[in-house]
Amino acid sequence: MSDKRVAKLSFDGKELELPIYSPSAGPDVLDITKLYAEGDVFTYDPGFTSTASCESTITFIAGGKGELLYRGYPIDQLANESHYLEVCYLLLYGELPSEDELVEFESRVTNHTMLHDQMNHLFRGFRRDAHPMAIMCGVVGALSAFYHDSTDVADPQQREIASIRMIAKIPTIAAYAFKYSAGQAFVYPDNNLDYASNFLRMCFAVPTEEYVVNPILAKAMDRIFTLHADHEQNASTSTVRLAGSSGANPFACIAAGIACLWGPAHGGANEACLNMLREIGTVDRIPEFVARAKDKSDPFRLMGFGHRVYKNFDPRATVMKESADEVLELLGIEDNEILKIAKELERIALEDPYFVEKKLYPNVDFYSGIILDAMGFPTSMFTPIFAMSRTVGWIAQWKEMIGDPKLKIGRPRQLYTGATHRDYVDVKDR
Ligand code: CMC
């Protein structure tokens, strides 16, 4: 990694040499770990816009080219030719599985889809109108109270079992959160079905009727899982790593990731995007919202547009758009008002100089919300579906971190601008 090149930094009469690392892709990285010890200075980088927080071999984004690679494989190839569980294997173990390895992996995941029966009671403690993300944060965190035999992070075997359990159980948890809010009976997993079909069935089947999974919808669902499976060191992944760096158990770390993902600037954007389309309401109101998005004095942003890393296009959005067309055609809803608004908004944003100059393209959440809405999911389920898809990425990154001999507890520094030492004054003297 290190190629003996160094960057020289001079300030206040000091001269420091910072080793330069050459990654296999992406910009060179300056090693500043000795900066404080040798230079008595910190670096300042709010939002980590220029800071590599770890070494990783899992996912790479070439934002300028609009490229996303999982272990080197382009996302569009994986979304079109592979399927989610194979992608999970790839992310977790680094290589595509052989046929036997895939069968064995799928069977291991499938055998863990059930929740401990006592967990079913846990759901009932929530209000019926609780947001499914709130339920997921709580229930995923609670896994650590049920599976004590997979919380010792120092034991690779336990880490492995925890990973499989999480991938297997997260669709069951998300579907139960949905069923609970709908006031319907939980539908137990069906281990004869593939991952996506099983999830659809757990969400949409009712005990009184037979439910037949539509293969086109299952394919679209599987693609949504694949497209969201991992995304480098984004906010929720960094949260999982930071939580895990203290040695916290994996279930607690994933619960932390879910909490972070919930925000509207991250995984909550798909829900916020559809709510925005509904608020716009009719095509003739689009200019008003576009004007608000451009107005510096208005905090409003067009949800589903822009990305911190993609400054060309979001390759996930390209695949998701194709899927959206297929699903809407299948369901015969190519002509509804929300879709018309979405298409017009997309057209305007791709032509308007404000969006073009700032490179604000529709991102994956713009299209995923449209598909999930067409499939019959309420907007509140959009982010839980993102969370379940991303669980494998969080786990792969967490495992990579725990296995890294250079692991240190994450402990950022600060640029302190508060009061310096002052003495306490008694309340009656203030
Ligand atoms: N609508 C209007 N203006 C925008 C938008 C938007 N959606 N996004 C960025 N801008 C403007 C922003 O006002 C700023 O303008 P200026 O340079 O004049 O101050 C400029 O573009 C750069 O914005 P930024 O906030 O510095 O960019 P960022 O890299 O920090 O933010 C983002 C990236 C995704 C948080 C932001 O684009 C955003 O809030 N988008 C809407 C929410 C969204 O769709 N999020 C989902 C991201 S994809 C899913 C995921 O990976 O989590």
Q: What is the percentage of the chain residues whose pLDDT exceeds 90?
A: 81
Q: What is the pLDDT of residue 269?
A: 85
Q: What is the pLDDT of residue 159?
A: 95
Ligand 1, atom 44, lies closest to the CA of 304
Query: How many Å lie between the centroid of ligand 1 and the Cα of residue 301?
Result: 7
Q: How far apart are the first and last CA of the chain?
A: 58
Distance CA 241, CA 399 (A): 9
Query: How many Å lie between the centroid of ligand 1 and the Cα of residue 154?
Result: 39
Nearest to 254 by CA among 414, 155, 398, 97: 398
What's the token pair of residue 122?
A: 């846990």
Q: What is the pLDDT of residue 64?
A: 86
Query: How many Å lie between the centroid of ligand 1 and the Cα of residue 59?
Result: 22
DSSP labels for 230-276? --SS-HHHHHHHHHHTTT--HHHHHHHHHHHHTSTTTTTHHHHHHHH
| Sheet-wide strand order for 67-70 | 59-62, 67-70, 73-74
For residue 1, name the pLDDT band (cuts at 50, 70, 90).
low
Contact 59, 68 (CB under 8 A): yes
What's the token pair of residue 108?
A: 């291991």
Contact 260, 153 (CB under 8 A): no
Q: Which of the residues are catalytic?
A: 307, 365
What mean pLDDT do residues 237-260 have?
97
Closest approach atom of ligand 1 to CA 304: 44
Per DSSP, 310 falls in state -
In the numeric block, the tokens 């959206």 are attached to 324
pTM: 0.91
Contact 42, 51 (CB under 8 A): no
Query: How many Å lie between the centroid of ligand 1 and the Cα of residue 77?
Result: 27
Distance CA 311, CA 103 (A): 39
For residue 128, name the pLDDT band (cuts at 50, 70, 90).
very high
Q: Compute CA distances 347 → 269, 298, 313, whole Å.
A: 19, 22, 14
Distance CA 115, CA 143 (A): 9
What mean pLDDT do residues 31-60 have?
96
Q: Find how far residue 194's CA is from the centre of its chain.
A: 22
Q: What is the pLDDT of residue 301?
A: 92
With the most atoms of ligand 1 within 8 angstroms of its CB, the residue from 307, 319, 357, 390 to mutate is: 307
Q: Compute CA distances 291 → 40, 302, 330, 337, whole Å.
A: 47, 10, 35, 21
What's the token pair of residue 5?
A: 């090149």
pLDDT tens for 293-313 read 999 999 999 999 998 888 888
Closest approach atom of ligand 1 to CA 308: 29
